Structure 1
């Protein structure tokens, strides 16, 4: 595993397993979901150690500081050593009201039941 002097942000985020595919990493960059040091990053933006990368992955925002540059995808234990994770803790999930749960075998909810369930879930 040879270290490189510079790495593209799309290749690096894929290599350290922030994104499942390189094309997903590139699409996230093009969509404005990846920022390097506070600036929107194009897929070809180069990284250097010490850069802060903010990436929206699913419904969370990951905040990592580049420790080591790699361009080849590596195993998860090795990938973790390439960045310092500064992602804030996820907020606790809100519990769904117990009234929205139906007994097993109760059949499909009626239209009125569905409206009540949706109202309880905040939709």
Structure 2
């Protein structure tokens, strides 16, 4: 007799030899035909686009301008060169980091010192 694990009852139950050798329901003799594509729509190659159409879509190359902006030697760290929003995010991150460290130390202290009865 063959057994397999029943996921519903969480127990072993009797079964046929085919079910025991293919426990997930996988069939050894699957058809070799491939299924029909669901999203079989014709696609347009990227070479078909004109250069003017591509540049108007992407807005142009901003990388050289951003490289000049972020590599300017003004003494400000790169993560703060974005102005006020970057400073605000940096300060919030530092406050949460310090607050989390203090909270974890307090939690460790409370766990290490059991209450006296």
Name the one with the larger helix percent: 2
**Bigger-Rg structure (1/2):** 2
From the two aligned structures, give the one with the greater strand fraction.
1
Q: TM-score, normalised by structure 1?
A: 0.19
TM-score when normalising by structure 2: 0.19
